[in-house]
Structure 1
């Protein structure tokens, strides 16, 4: 038995509310769920049950599939209510897959034109034509401006992401450390003390993160005192979180000689806990690199107050500047997650990252308070960083961005 939905006699069997209908089961229609993004839908638009947002989207892009920006993730983006604005290419593809047809847009346009002519038949013909022309120009220009703005915003965000990853990799010593660890069996016993040196490894991580943060234009626009305060507050936490990525990528905590060398400074409990945290870290390195720049512009990443005058410095007076920078990076992180993993998986990944960050910062405070050797290393890094900042105060050469 046919399950086609019956239409009133005044309506065409192929059109509903100005949009053409294709054969859909009665169950699909009654579900009231957009076949494209899952939002609430009550009308079949251009051949598929879809919401108002997807209808407008297809109407705007259905005629120009070749002009849509290509997907950056191999056409694997999940399209739902939260992510439908992220990837135009995948959303348009899903519209077509669900049955939406660009030919039906023309029929809808012609019907609207006929309706407009009937309603305006008593107006002066020349005035009518002028109004139509103006409306078409305004609509066309508005659509073009919106598309240009969205494209420009999209391009700038992914350029920012590329800059962050490139900056991190430029200053990273992980590849060098990995090469050294792989060549460890060929080294003589006398060379071990030079290669397996936890203090030197920590110093290299500090230099890497200091250079990474300093390359950001958001950092360069701060005054010298603000830059110094920012490093005092956050460099320890950034390095602690960075160490999880460093140790996972290099795998040196799985090498007994390296693990024992770090145990001599931090103890077995701390190192085994760190190794467990490393194993729980998200496998996507790009996420970690964005998190690092977010933490760098926190108001305080070290829960231990190392400077009694820190609460009265100029950085707190300009906290809104930090929040402005941080918001840009947080938005970038979320859009990257949504575009690559979809909403559900993004929430889970983001939650796990926050848990790991809080765990690392808590353990860092305990280690800094109780471990004299670590505190000496950290204070030495801070002092050296202040000296470098003072020396390079007039250096405005950026790796990325503009001052």
Structure 2
């Protein structure tokens, strides 16, 4: 059976901010929502980054719409930091170049038929060859876009900006911080509202799976936002957060932030793995039926994301580094479990999680 080999690109036209320079952006290119200018910049320079001159300011330039052309190395570094990938660039180029290259589908992966000279070209080291199939790139691209579409990081920035305009004594009040966390945690659940794998499950399994994993997916996404924004550096925000998560819980959160992987695509993949987890890490809702009907189907879906996560890591680094990053991640997940256990001693946290469930239950499970 012939299959169209297409890199998925969203069709929505909602206006967003470019992750690199802040200009207006509508689409996700090569793994991140960026403007046309940054898209073309990445296409020109990503595969030949070694030819760029070194930054004269120790790679600390701030990239925005006004100065994005002044420091090419820092602009390219920001492209990579925000999730843009050369592998997606290669895949797109290969797909668009059908008149000059022949493709062959072997065991679910794409093999480009090259001349002997091309195959022996030492400028393309083995670690740069994509280990992901086209189906995996499609799945990854869809997942990344779905997260970016619902994360609305611009709203987080607006929240911080609004709070900083207030007098110091009025900033980051407990109720405001609670609403902030509830919003962040609710938004991450919407990633799965129309997720094809979630929709393939029965209503009961969707509901049970959601309740099993909501503390962990929500907490990790919230902690990652804290890592990105460095909000815990603000003493007032920290104190308000301690009311929600308990002082001991905040200690765990700080440790998680210190160890959490810097790659946001990797974090998104891990959230997908956890979202299809059937294990009862801890049980807080004794009255809720937690018996999944089709557990084998759920485990097979989780396996897909586990394999995709591992292949993605191998695509980013060598085998030893991939093992070390996975090991570090496991330590982080154990800390998340400890943090959640401590936070459940707080009525505020329980109330917040119940609010997240209430806000997403209808659209997510029905």
Same fold per superposition (TM over 0.5): yes
Structure 1 unaligned blocks of 5 or more? 1-69, 76-84, 99-150, 394-403
Partner Cα distance (2:141, 2:253) in 1:
29
CA RMSD of aligned residues (A): 3.2
1:206/1:239 contact within 8 Å kept = yes
Cα offset for 1:356?
A: 0.4
Deviation at 1:187, TM superposition (A): 2.5
Q: Aligned partners of 1:199, 1:366: CA distance in 2, in Å?
A: 17
Partner of 2:56: none
Please name the residue that 2:308 is paired with. Answer: 332
Q: Please report the TM-score for the alignment, with normalisation by the length of structure 2.
A: 0.62
Distance of aligned partners of 1:87 and 1:353 in 2 relative to their CA distance in 1, 3 Å threshold: farther
**CA-CA distance at 1:282 after TM superposition:** 0.8
Size of the aligned set, in residue pairs, is: 256
| Partner residue, 2:338 | 362
Change (3 A) 1:336 1:185: same
Cα contact 1:234–1:302 (8 A) shared by 2: no
Give the match for residue 350 of structure 1: 326
Could you tell me how far 1:294 is from its partner in structure 2? 0.8
2 CA distance for matches of 1:388 and 1:197?
25
Q: For 1:155 and 1:213, how far apart are their aligned partners in 2?
A: 22
| Equivalent residue in structure 2 for 1:260, among 230, 234, 239 | 239
Partner residue in 1 for 2:180: 201
Distance 1:193 1:184 in 2: 7
1:13-64 per-position Cα deviation (integer Å, ceiling 9, x unaligned): xxxxxxxxxxxxxxxxxxxxxxxxxxxxxxxxxxxxxxxxxxxxxxxxxxxx
Q: Is the 8 A contact 1:237 1:361 kept in 2?
A: yes
Larger radius of gyration: 1
Q: What's 1:310 paired with?
A: 289
Contact in 2 for aligned 1:206/1:381 (Cα 8 Å): yes
Q: Is 184-193 or 291-300 further displaced after alignment?
A: 184-193
TM-score, with length taken from structure 1:
0.57
Measured in 1, the distance between the counterparts of 2:338 and 2:272 equals 19
Per-residue deviation, 1:197: 1.7
Q: Structure 2: 5+ residue runs without aligned partners?
A: 1-84, 91-107, 124-129
User: In structure 2, how many angstroms separate the alpha carbons of the residues matched to 1:178 and 1:92?
Assistant: 50
Question: 2:230 — aligned with what?
Answer: 251
Partner of 1:197, secondary structure, is helix
Match of residue 385 from structure 1: 360
- Note the C-alpha offset of 1:237: 1.1
- Deviation per residue, 1:188-240 (Å, 9 max, x gap): 46863679722112211222121012231001122222111111111111111
